[in-house]
Amino acid sequence: MPELSRNGIRIDDTFAEAFDMRATALTITADSMAWARQAAITMTGFATSVIGCGCEASIDRELAAETTPDNRPGVRVLLFAVSTSELQKQLQHRVGQCVLTSPGSACYGALAGEETLKLGNALRFFGDGWQVSKRFAGKRYWRIPVMDGEFVCEATTGLTKQAVGGGNLIIMGASRETTLAAAEAAVRAIDAVPDAIMPFPGGIARSGSKVGSKYKGANASTNDAYCPTLKGSGNTALDADIASVLEIVIDGLTPAAVAAAMRAGLAAIIALGPQRGALRIGAGNYGGKLGRHHFHLKELLP
Amino acid sequence: MTALVLSLRATPAQRLDLSALTPNRLAGLAESDIAAIELQTTRERVRVGDVFSLRMGDSAQLVFEGGSERFDRVGLAMTSGTIRVEGEVGVQAGRLMRGGRLEIAGNAGPWAASRMHDGSIEIGGAAGDRVGGPLPGETSGMRGGIVVVRGDAGARAGDRLRRGTIIVEGKTGAQAGSRMIAGTLILRGHAGALPGYLMGRGSIILAQGCEAISPSFVDCGVHDLVAFRLMADFVKPYSTELAALIRRPWRRFLGDMAVIGKGEIFTPAI
């Protein structure tokens, strides 16, 4: 196989295999950016993977005060799940427990989707009869009395079925430090891409998984082929010079957003170079039979 | 395409029912058909051609050159397009309106926007009593859309308002927002006595206060609410000054406690 490389970094001739997902977006505002972020971070906590968290969620970007519905600082949050009903459940639990409770917060739909999900329409009952509905310019808002004033929440938000989950980059390097530096560079670059999130801690996953396990009851287990401490075991995907592997998982509202995010991440890792960053970049797939979307690395290279 | 213009020949000798002259009802009609439409409200027959001289154009844009307080039911149940009256109108302008835009340069009589569903109405002059209100026997008034009155409004503006927004830039008479079911009534000028009389739900904003607030409204203190930011943004295209005025703290009164008491009146924070 002729080896593909850029700036001294080896690129696997492989692809990321991604799946159709349901997604929604919210704008969370507060009296300051710090509190808008706090509400969003709390709401998107424990939302790294649909396997154990019910949804994958993170902050898409910060929004300047002039661009939000109530002209206060805000953040846009994206939520992904495998079904509409699970997305609805996660949305109302997370907004109800984490945004409604956060000082000074307000919450608005941030996606014009083909269907709608209940937002304020589900949370209004917290008002115990004191909630007030207001309709401005075709949009309905609920005003729910709370102890610091009112929680304002748009009645609904949009749902998209075009969303894609599971875009990814596998970053391989000579040490934990250099591999992490490459992954961090990719995360910074992908942060700037709209409509895409990286749901894992700081955008990075260190425990990539494979499907199945030798144990009953576990449907996923450690990706031993990419564990550097098992390099000698026979079933390895790693070369002799690789001592650390990190993965960036990307969910996007559209396949194009995932491709743009992977492209940005690849460019950043390649720009950093092999001395300070990664030696090799790969991607995770399941042979191409499970996911409808295939993102080939060689098509996304700078 | 230019507008279809109906130019008033002389002050009509009787009250006229102009409800037939809306963009949706005139669509596709020839000049002779329009001229033959009957408008009388007495036994004496009056046709469009008798009252107006017609200049044909796009029936989606109607212009009445000249108005009269005898022009009743202008824009009744209109669904689309625009009607502009360069003068005043009589009773029930824009009643049951479902869409489009009605502009009245002069004054409007009572029951303007009565039981309106959607669309927008702008009254350049003053409005009579019961803007948006229901006729006797109807259970609710305006149910959607927006009404802007640049001048004063009579008594009971927004009577039985159920949804939608009414903005009055001038003064309003007594019992504004009486029996309100929901919706928003924004009064920039001074309001008469007892606003929100027997209101169940809904919001009344009294930017200049009122003559007397009913003792059945309870003071809930001064609050700087996020909802007013949304309201200010919504109001801005209709009145920039009012939008600036709205984005500030307000004193909130809850009422009318004589009924369910889930409505609210906002007065300047003093």
Q: What is the pLDDT of residues B21-63, one digit of tens each?
A: 999 999 999 999 999 999 999 999 999 999 999 999 999 999 9
Measured CA to CA in angstroms, residue A269 lies from A231, A275, B143, B188 at distances of 24, 11, 58, 59
- For B120, the closest chain A residue by CA position comes to A137
Token pair listed for B191 = 């309001």
Query: Which numeric CATH code is attached to A20-160?
Result: 3.30.70.520
Helix axes A176-191, A255-276, angle to 10 degrees: 140
Is the Cβ pair B224, A149 closer than 8 Å? yes
Q: Check whether B270 has a pLDDT greater than 80.
A: no
Q: Where do the structural domains in chain A lie, given as residue ranges? A: 4-18+163-300, 20-160
Average pLDDT, chain A: 95
Q: Which residues of A47-71 are buried (b: 16+ CB within 10 A; e: fewer)?
A: bbbbeebbbbbbbbbebeeeebbbb
Q: Does B245 have pLDDT greater than 80? A: yes
Which residue in the set B203, B226, B262 is minimally distant from A150, CB to CB?
B226
What percentage of chain B reaches a pLDDT higher than 70? Answer: 100
In terms of CA atoms, which chain B residue is nearest residue A106? B226
Inter-chain residue contact B226 with A134, CB threshold 8 Å: no
In this complex, the residue of B201, B225, B233 whose CB is nearest that of residue A150 is B225
pLDDT at position B71: 97
CA–CA dist B261, A86 (Å, integer):
38
Return the bridge partners of A19, or none. Answer: A165
Condensed to tens digits (0 to 9), the pLDDT of residues A219-260 reads: 889 999 999 999 999 899 999 999 999 999 999 999 999 999
B264 neighbourhood in chain A, CB within 8 Å: 132
- Chain B 221-240, residues with CB within 8 Å of chain A CB atoms: 223-227, 229-231, 233-234
Give the residue-averaged pLDDT of B112-129. Answer: 97
Q: How far apart are CA A20 and CA A129, in angstroms?
A: 39
Closest A-chain CA to B118:
A138
Q: Using an 8 Å Cβ cutoff, are B227 and B200 in contact?
A: no
Task: State the average pLDDT over residues A47-67.
Answer: 95
Q: Of all residues in chain A, what percent carry a pLDDT higher than 90?
A: 91
Residue B9 clears pLDDT 60, i.e. is over it: yes
3-class DSSP assignment, residue A276: helix
- pLDDT category, A118, cuts 50, 70, 90? very high
Task: Flag if A134 and B230 touch (Cβ within 8 Å).
Answer: yes
Which of A73, A25, A119 has its CA nearest to residue B226? A73
Task: Assign domain B3-268 to its CATH architecture.
Answer: 3 Solenoid (2.160)
In terms of residues, how long is chain B? 270
Give the pLDDT confidence score for residue A219 in this predicted structure.
Answer: 84
Q: Which amino acid, one-letter code, is at B26? A: L
And the tokens for A224?
């031993």
**To the nearest whole number, what is the mean pLDDT of chain B?**
96
pLDDT at res. A2: 55
What's the rounded Cα separation, in Å, for the pair A252 and A50? 14
Shortest CA distance from A134: residue in chain B: B183
Nearest to A70 among B163, B182, B226 (CB): B226
Q: Which of B184, B201, B204, B230 is most worth mutating to test chain A (most A CB atoms within 10 A of its CB)?
A: B230
The predicted model gives A144-167 an average pLDDT of 97
What is residue A1's predicted lDDT score, i.e. its pLDDT? Answer: 47
Q: Would you tell me which residues 134-163 of chain B have a C-beta closer than 8 angstroms to some C-beta of chain A?
A: 163
Domain ranges of chain B: 3-268
What is the tens place of the pLDDT at every residue in B201-214? 999 999 999 999 99
* B122 closest CA partner among B153, B143, B101, B96: B101
- List chain B residues with CB under 8 Å of A71: 229, 233
Residue B164 near residue B120, CB atoms below 8 Å = no
- The whole-angstrom distance between B74's CA and the closest CA on chain A is 25
**Share of residues in chain B with pLDDT > 90 (%):** 99
Residue A108 burial class via C-beta count within 10 angstroms: exposed 0-12, middle 13-18, buried 19 and up: buried
The shortest C-alpha distance from A106 to chain B (Å) reads 8
Alpha carbons B124 and B244: distance in angstroms, whole number: 21
- B233 with A143: Cβ contact below 8 A: no
User: CB distance B227–A141 less than 8 Å?
Assistant: yes
pLDDT band at B258 (very low <50, low <70, confident <90, very high): very high
Closest CA to A151 of A60, A28, A26: A28
Q: What is the pLDDT of residue A287?
A: 85
CA distance linking residue B255 with residue B270, whole number of Å: 19
Q: Are A154 and A68 in contact (CB under 8 A)?
A: no
Question: Which of B181, B226, B233 to probe the A interface (max A CBs under 10 A)?
Answer: B226
**A20-160 has the same fold as A4-18+163-300:** yes
The C-alpha atoms of residue B48 and residue B168 are separated, in whole angstroms, by 32
Which CATH topology does A4-18+163-300 take? Alpha-Beta Plaits (3.30.70)
Q: What is the pLDDT of residue B1?
A: 78
Given a cut of 80, whether residue A85 has pLDDT beyond it is yes
Average pLDDT over residues A31-35: 98
- pLDDT, mean of residues A138-143: 95
